[in-house]
Structure 1
């Protein structure tokens, strides 16, 4: 595959954005925490050896503005591979995800369940359910009195589902998407399990959350979904989600500051573009304002007195839509093909670009926590 991206194509429109990332540096022979400044990467590893530790620093933006750090070279050199590779902008954080947080994708989850993972049945199920469930769900705030009334109505009609329970009920679905450091970065291949014949990208906003629950920034993510596998049984969620290269995050974490706040994120519009080698093109755009639970609510449901993440967490906020455009034939809906180029974008966070391959054809994930600790120790970066 011709997998090339350029710096100008993936960066936010705002040149003053405070962007934190992670690269594999050939010069340093290991991963480095970096700050992007004027399309050059500055090494923050002496300030904090991991992104997780960096985000725990109080008043982090003050540590970054106007300070001099070692220059590791232009971002372009990590996109073309000459100086290293651009990695996912997180490391030791737990990678978690919230499910069924948007009405349209909520409906598609119910369709998967009713179709038992059979894409050929999806159109018929959609035609039956969409006029009833779709209209009922739009504008409903999860956990509200109105949501309880909708639940009672749908139960009376025999249409209640486990997906609707977590979609509009009081308790959000929060699951483990991937292991720390297993997510791939911008410009890398994203994996589809070879057992799947019905799958799609899930374009999402991803929160960067400190161990104390404070949301410090955000980025973009692709929470790849195997619709046939999860549709067969919700108990296959782990197999459908936590596969080699199935989690993509990037390109950078944009830190909150005076120019970018959680309020900006809540009104963002996120676009999706899929381009296949077969000439297939699919586009879409959705608004974060349509989410059924506020990002802050999802963060509190993730991290609280009953659930702790001492290295922080990256939280996918849920997909805004599930693509249904026919690809392999009428009524078959959308599914990925090897070689698809997937682009997820919003102006204030930039653009996450990945290419689709089978998970058993993507590079194996081998650099785990033990390898990271050994690498940092060898480089003298774990001194107290």
Structure 2
């Protein structure tokens, strides 16, 4: 069941608004989209770094832009009208980071990708073989713990140790750069697959909004689009597998933490996924955040701290436990995207993020970067 697109709570987002060259900062009040862009608070980065993000968004004066549901409908690729706003990714100057192999199901599928060397036809047989070899419930292991290290030693002895098992149950989390600043897409946009890929999938995730001080102040939904065949050939191809045009989607809004919505809410969320193909194929699944093997706080600490600073803050994808294996084109062929797939990721506290799949070479090219944003804000006297 897909949740409502727009959740309750204190919402922070961005929109392209007719009559303005610069993206506008928006929130939702009583079902209406409100433009709260103001000098000194003209970016999501500035609001997040203010130390009072939720209070500011809640109290800020603004301009009514119209019915929020109408703007959501107008944001779907191919259905937009120039007379209405269009939602954008709800972040701007933040770094876009991601954590991988944070759930056991995801861990096992990564090992399978590696062992298959990107050949999806070998996945089913390898899945059975690896599960027989492991012979233990990895979900009960605390990464880096003494029991985890004993399992590591046993797997090395069996000859099935993997770089994915290392980051799945070893002491160090996998943290990588998912995409470039200003390159993420929002609700309704197309998401891109590199045209060389023939085995790929969506990754439904929660993404945290983190300040430059390492404080977690809100969350949104994300699709960490993944090319299984490319990463399976070599982990050194992670950049090619993960960072392509329109390969990172976020939205529809950031929900800021307050008394009713906290990090504990996120930890207990169930993230639903629904893929609907133009061929009539439907795939559904869910990730329960309670089953994550590393806490969100530990993943943030592995990303930002004395070892690495982010002066404009960051967004961190937390990983997914959902790795689709449902056969699509015949027994044993597993799942892979087809162009035109509609991907919906949802949870009641964060709403629904919907995107349509296309090739990264066919999605609108990324042409608006940090320099363009700053110039437009300067022209509008908003800096």
TM-score (norm 1): 0.94
Note the residue ranges of structure 2 that are not aligned, 5 or more in a row: 75-79
Q: Distance in 2 between matches of 1:372 and 1:133?
A: 50
- Counting only pairs closer than 5 Å after superposition, residues 210-221 of structure 1 correspond to structure 2 as 210-221=211-222
User: 2:10 maps to what in 1?
Assistant: 18
Note the residue ranges of structure 1 that are not aligned, 5 or more in a row: 1-5
- Counting only pairs closer than 5 Å after superposition, residues 159-198 of structure 1 correspond to structure 2 as 159-198=160-199
How many pairs align? 373
Following TM superposition, by how much is the alpha carbon of 1:132 offset from its aligned partner in structure 2, in angstroms? 3.4
User: 1:153 maps to what in 2?
Assistant: 154
Q: Distance in 1 between matches of 2:66 and 2:375?
A: 25
Structure 1 residue 43 and structure 2 residue 35: aligned? yes
Which one of 20, 25, 32 corresponds to residue 33 of structure 1? 25
Q: Distance in 2 between matches of 1:142 and 1:275?
A: 35
User: 1:3 maps to what in 2?
Assistant: none
Following TM superposition, by how much is the alpha carbon of 1:236 offset from its aligned partner in structure 2, in angstroms? 0.6
Q: Distance in 2 between matches of 1:59 and 1:379?
A: 24
SS at match of 2:87: strand
1:323-344: CA deviation from partner (whole Å, max 9, x where unpaired)? 0011122111100000101010
1:233-263: CA deviation from partner (whole Å, max 9, x where unpaired)? 1111101111000111001001011001111
Following TM superposition, by how much is the alpha carbon of 1:147 offset from its aligned partner in structure 2, in angstroms? 1.3
The answer as to whether partners of 1:20 and 1:35 remain within 8 angstroms in 2 is yes
CA root-mean-square deviation: 1.5
SS at match of 1:335: coil
SS at match of 1:377: helix
Following TM superposition, by how much is the alpha carbon of 1:141 offset from its aligned partner in structure 2, in angstroms? 1.5
Report the more deviating stretch, 207-216 or 121-130: 121-130
The answer as to whether partners of 2:287 and 2:320 remain within 8 angstroms in 1 is no
SS at match of 1:360: coil
The answer as to whether partners of 1:27 and 1:83 remain within 8 angstroms in 2 is no
SS at match of 2:140: coil
Report the more deviating stretch, 138-147 or 347-356: 138-147
User: 2:334 maps to what in 1?
Assistant: 333
Report the more deviating stretch, 237-246 or 68-77: 68-77
Q: Distance in 1 between matches of 2:32 and 2:105?
A: 40
The answer as to whether partners of 2:271 and 2:345 remain within 8 angstroms in 1 is yes
User: 2:57 maps to what in 1?
Assistant: 64
Q: Distance in 2 between matches of 1:152 and 1:282?
A: 37
Q: Distance in 2 between matches of 1:334 and 1:258?
A: 40
The answer as to whether partners of 2:120 and 2:334 remain within 8 angstroms in 1 is yes
User: 1:78 maps to what in 2?
Assistant: 71
User: 2:266 maps to what in 1?
Assistant: 265
Following TM superposition, by how much is the alpha carbon of 1:279 offset from its aligned partner in structure 2, in angstroms? 0.6
User: 1:283 maps to what in 2?
Assistant: 284
Report the more deviating stretch, 37-46 or 366-375: 37-46
The answer as to whether partners of 1:103 and 1:134 remain within 8 angstroms in 2 is no
1:168-200: CA deviation from partner (whole Å, max 9, x where unpaired)? 111111000001111110111101111000000
Report the more deviating stretch, 26-35 or 360-369: 26-35
The answer as to whether partners of 2:88 and 2:186 remain within 8 angstroms in 1 is yes
Q: Distance in 1 between matches of 2:303 and 2:184?
A: 19
Following TM superposition, by how much is the alpha carbon of 1:50 offset from its aligned partner in structure 2, in angstroms? 0.8
SS at match of 2:136: helix
Segments of 4+ moved more than 4 angstroms: none
Q: Distance in 1 between matches of 2:356 and 2:124?
A: 27
Q: Distance in 2 between matches of 1:66 and 1:312?
A: 23
1:124-167: CA deviation from partner (whole Å, max 9, x where unpaired)? 11110123337341221112222111111111111110001111
SS at match of 1:150: helix
Following TM superposition, by how much is the alpha carbon of 1:72 offset from its aligned partner in structure 2, in angstroms? 2.6
